[in-house]
Amino acid sequence: MRRMGLLAKVYMVLIFSFMYVPIAVMAVFSFNESKSRSNFTGFTLSWYRNLFRNDMILSALGLSLVIALVASIIATVLGTMASIGIHSMRRGARNVIMNISYMPVINPEIITGVSMMLLFVVVKNWMGGKIFGTPTLLIAHITFCVPYVIFNVSPKLRQMDVRMWEAALDLGCTPVQAFFKVVLPEIMPAVLSSFLICLTYSIDDFIISYFTSGTLQTLPIAIYSMTRKKVSPEINALSTIMFVVILSIILLVNANDTRKQKKLASRD
């Protein structure tokens, strides 16, 4: 690789600081003694202590994590099945279905959120009972996650050689066995990455959750509602912890990958 010129280096530093300086500032102020977000008055860990005693924030975090996990698992399974179905359609039908599944992604979130809420209200009036809460939140999150899975998995399916699948059948696999032994391993990277995308979108989502959560609240809703008074530094502390956890998971995964690759390389 060619060595980088000065300009390229400066550019890279700029881009990275653009992404990471805000996070660093946030982390620093989670240790600030006063509530101020502009003056650093002294070091303290009390925001972290308060955070772990704050039931409201913790239960909001818990709900966000549970919804994100369950919704992304279901959405990944549904989306993968959908892409396989779409893949084996005729060309015309496939184009139509693909374009329809684009719609929720292009749609502004607020439209998705409001229309889902209206739908749930209709269902509630029709069936009676309390449906708003975890079920509606889950349905909404699965709904907006599925298209992302389809767009991630479909290209991978197109890359796959269909003859591999046929060969597996020729060699005596049942269609189900052929799917799990040949097709799934082939598209696994795409399935995994779409699972992660769903997870992040679901944890991030504010607008759609706001309209469909009933009397529950996810973490983004809890944080947003603090803006009349002042967002508490406990949120800085929580965000710092989440950042560190995610960063360490990524580092661990990458370290694992490199080790595997080295092993492969040494075997060759």
Site for other proteins, rule CB under 8 A:
34-39, 50, 52-56, 58, 117-118, 120-121, 124-125, 130, 132, 210-217, 221-222, 224-232, 234, 245, 248-249, 252-253, 256
The minimum distance between CB 241 and other proteins, in angstroms, equals 8
The minimum distance between CB 178 and other proteins, in angstroms, equals 27
Smaller CB separation from other proteins, 91 or 163: 91
Tokens of 31: 């240790």
Residues in the chain: 268
Smaller CB separation from other proteins, 37 or 94: 37
The residue to which tokens 């959405």 are assigned: 75
The minimum distance between CB 198 and other proteins, in angstroms, equals 18
Long-range contacts from 191-195, C-beta under 8 angstroms, 24+ separation: 191/76, 191/80, 191/149, 191/152, 191/153, 193/152, 194/76, 194/79, 194/80, 194/148, 194/149, 194/152, 194/153, 195/72, 195/73, 195/76, 195/149
Smaller CB separation from other proteins, 16 or 40: 40
The minimum distance between CB 235 and other proteins, in angstroms, equals 11
| Amino acid (1-letter code) at residue 29 | F
Smaller CB separation from other proteins, 27 or 231: 231
